[in-house]
């Protein structure tokens, strides 16, 4: 599925606007932990005093947050993202620490606004693989100082986040199908609003169409519960069941108009989730893709390792030290 860059920018800007710390909310809390955190602490540990770091596709800055927590005070970071980040965690930083990080929103990796040879470390976690690598890789090499390091964590085609995303996409298809749960909930709004008055309830007693919609809605809610119970990734189903119940309560308490607005927001959230999850699956790298990316950055298969956390495959990790003039650029 080809997603226009403006659609991706809008979808991810809405996602980050909720203050979400990172893109793996189902696997970690407010900060990355375990193997991912250890990878980045190791990557940052070798930085010299006064070093500069560039984090690509930073989101709300999970990697820079680790940098500030585990490196010397003189190290600074520029963090870019195609979307507009809204990292709420920086509000709790001291003025000195806040000065060490600069966010650059709506900034594509394919056209970096930095001078040549500026950075000692270029990092990206679950982000660089989404870019046009034929343009972003040369930009990384341009802004990396001689002897600098590129450290990446990318999506792995067989990793847990990708498998969960595929399962959740199937649930979204079910929720958004014609005459599915979302559409049927929309048909329930008007009867629920009518039920708020004595006259409305009286009119519903002989309304066969309203009765049929209610019967179908209840059956679909039970089906959703069954699908969730048998799934390793039930979040979308469970959250939508609860959210639709709230929409119908709004219809009864505040009227159909307000409920339709709430339902429209839910439909937008589902559409956004579809974009994010589908792209996660589409841009995840198999072994050949990971080797190709490493080679474009001057490395080889020796620079790539599968990254596991608690026994689960979470992605590819790469540590590379590009040599200028010896790099194959991706087509």
In order, the DSSP letters of 156-174 are BTTSHHHHHHHHHHHHHHH
**pLDDT exceeds 60 at position 190:** yes
Question: Residue 31: what pLDDT?
Answer: 47
Give the N- to C-terminal CA distance of the chain in Å, as an integer.
20
**Model confidence pLDDT, tens digit, residues 58-88:** 999 999 988 887 766 688 999 999 999 889 8
Q: How confident is the model at residue 1 (pLDDT cuts 50, 70, 90)?
A: low
The half-sphere exposure of 63 on its side-chain side, counting CA atoms within 13 A, is: 32
Within 8 A by CB and 6+ apart from 185, the residues are 217, 244, 247, 248, 263
What's the mean pLDDT in 317-325?
84
Q: Where in the chain is the domain with CATH 3.40.50.150?
A: 5-157+284-320
Mean pLDDT of the chain: 90
**pLDDT exceeds 50 at position 16:** yes
**pLDDT exceeds 50 at position 28:** no
- DSSP 8-state code for residue 104: E
Where do runs of H (alpha helix) occur along the chain? 5-16, 34-45, 62-70, 95-98, 133-143, 160-176, 181-194, 198-204, 208-229, 235-254, 256-283, 287-296
Q: What values do phi and psi take at 95, rounded to 5?
A: -60, -40
Q: How confident is the model at residue 210 (pLDDT cuts 50, 70, 90)?
A: very high
Question: Residue 324: what pLDDT?
Answer: 62
Question: Residue 273: what pLDDT?
Answer: 93
Share of residues in the chain with pLDDT > 90 (%): 73
User: Which of the pair, 86 or 315, is modelled with greater confidence?
Assistant: 315
Q: Distance (Å, rounded) from C-alpha 246 to C-alpha 266?
A: 11
Q: How confident is the model at residue 253 (pLDDT cuts 50, 70, 90)?
A: very high
Q: How confident is the model at residue 23 (pLDDT cuts 50, 70, 90)?
A: low
Within 8 A by CB and 6+ apart from 220, the residues are 180, 181, 184
**pLDDT exceeds 80 at position 329:** no
Question: Residue 20: what pLDDT?
Answer: 67
**In CATH, 5-157+284-320 is 3.40.50.150:** yes
- DSSP 8-state code for residue 64: H
Question: Residue 327: what pLDDT?
Answer: 46
Question: Residue 130: what pLDDT?
Answer: 95
What's the mean pLDDT in 162-180?
95
CB atoms within 10 A of CB 191: 23
**Model confidence pLDDT, tens digit, residues 211-240:** 999 999 999 999 999 999 999 889 999 999
Question: Residue 255: what pLDDT?
Answer: 95
Helix orientation angle between 256-283 and 160-176, rounded to the nearest 10 degrees: 140
Share of residues in the chain with pLDDT > 70 (%): 92
């Amino acid at each position: 599925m080809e997603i226009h860059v403006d659609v991706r920018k809008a979808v991810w800007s809405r996602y980050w606007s909720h203050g979400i710390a990172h893109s793996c909310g189902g696997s970690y809390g407010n900060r990355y932990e375990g193997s991912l955190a250890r990878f980045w602490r190791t990557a940052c540990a070798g930085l010299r005093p006064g070093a500069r770091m560039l984090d690509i596709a930073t989101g709300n800055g999970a990697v820079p947050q680790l940098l500030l927590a585990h490196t010397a005070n003189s190290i600074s970071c520029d963090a870019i993202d195609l979307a507009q980040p809204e990292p709420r965690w920086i509000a709790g930083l001291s003025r000195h620490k806040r000065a060490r990080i600069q966010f650059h929103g709506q900034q594509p990796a394919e056209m970096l606004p930095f001078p040549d040879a500026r950075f000692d470390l270029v990092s990206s976690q679950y982000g660089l693989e989404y870019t046009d690598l034929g343009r972003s890789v040369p930009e990384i090499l341009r802004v990396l100082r001689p002897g600098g390091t590129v450290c990446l964590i990318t999506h792995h085609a067989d990793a847990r986040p990708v498998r969960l995303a595929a399962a959740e996409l199937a649930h979204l298809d079910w929720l958004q199908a014609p005459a599915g749960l979302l559409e049927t909930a929309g048909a329930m709004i008007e009867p629920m609003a009518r039920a708020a008055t004595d006259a409305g309830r009286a009119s519903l007693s002989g309304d066969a169409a309203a009765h049929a919609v209610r019967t179908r809605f209840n059956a679909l809610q039970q089906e959703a519960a069954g699908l969730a119970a048998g799934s390793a990734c039930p979040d979308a189903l469970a959250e939508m069941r609860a959210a639709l119940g709230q929409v119908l309560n709004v219809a009864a308490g505040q009227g159909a108009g307000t409920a339709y607005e709430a339902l429209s927001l839910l439909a937008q959230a589902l559409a956004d989730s579809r974009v994010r999850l589908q792209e996660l699956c589409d841009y995840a790298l198999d072994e050949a893709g990971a080797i190709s990316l490493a080679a474009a950055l001057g490395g080889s298969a020796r620079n790539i390792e599968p990254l596991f956390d608690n026994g689960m495959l979470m992605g590819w990790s790469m540590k590379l030290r590009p040599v200028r003039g010896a790099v194959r650029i991706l087509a």
